């Protein structure tokens, strides 16, 4: 399944200087067909009532699945999110850690679909998400970007 063998340290380094590192998301474990990332809920990631913000849950889900998807394509390709759905099932209070595990539902040539489960420290399901990714050729994406900038 994995086409790129990036270590957890490399994945975390790759996400430096982005929203991922700003929020404190860190890749924590990887298996034969899954990738995990963790987030400790703090003032950067909670809503005013002191619980994990639903948008941050979706961001965590998209982060772990997108990087997993990226590791499942050859070097000539990238993945980009096309749709995310997240059902928030249980609140996570400030100070607690949530773990997101992404597993593939489908790894196609042009589309990937990932299931992401977010669990609290007691292993209770807090959020269930699904992310669809488009697999795109790097060269095609770069060319489209150049054409857009020329307009």
- List CB contacts of 115: < 8 A, sequence separation 6 or more: 102, 103, 104, 105, 128, 129, 130
Handedness of CA 145, 35, 115, 126 (dihedral sign): negative
Out of 62, 83, 121, 150, the active site residue is: 62
Mark whether 43 is an active-site residue.
no
Q: For the chain, how long is the longest CA-to-CA vector?
A: 53
Report the distance separating Cα 67 and Cα 120, nearest Å: 21
Active site residues: 62
């Amino acid at each position: 399944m994995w086409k790129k063998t990036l270590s957890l340290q490399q994945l975390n380094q790759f996400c430096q200087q982005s929203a991922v590192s700003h929020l404190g998301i860190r890749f924590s474990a990887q298996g034969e067909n899954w990738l995990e990332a963790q987030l400790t809920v703090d003032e950067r990631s909670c809503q005013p009532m002191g619980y994990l913000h639903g948008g941050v849950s979706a961001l965590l889900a998209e982060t772990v699945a997108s990087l997993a998807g990226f590791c499942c394509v050859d070097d000539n390709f990238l993945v980009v999110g096309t749709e995310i759905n997240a059902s928030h099932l249980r609140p996570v209070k400030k100070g607690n850690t949530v773990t997101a595990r992404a597993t593939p539902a489908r790894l196609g040539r042009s589309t990937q679909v990932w299931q992401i489960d977010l669990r609290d420290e007691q292993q209770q399901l807090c959020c269930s998400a699904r992310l669809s990714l488009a697999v795109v050729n790097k060269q095609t994406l770069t060319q489209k970007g150049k054409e857009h900038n020329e307009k």
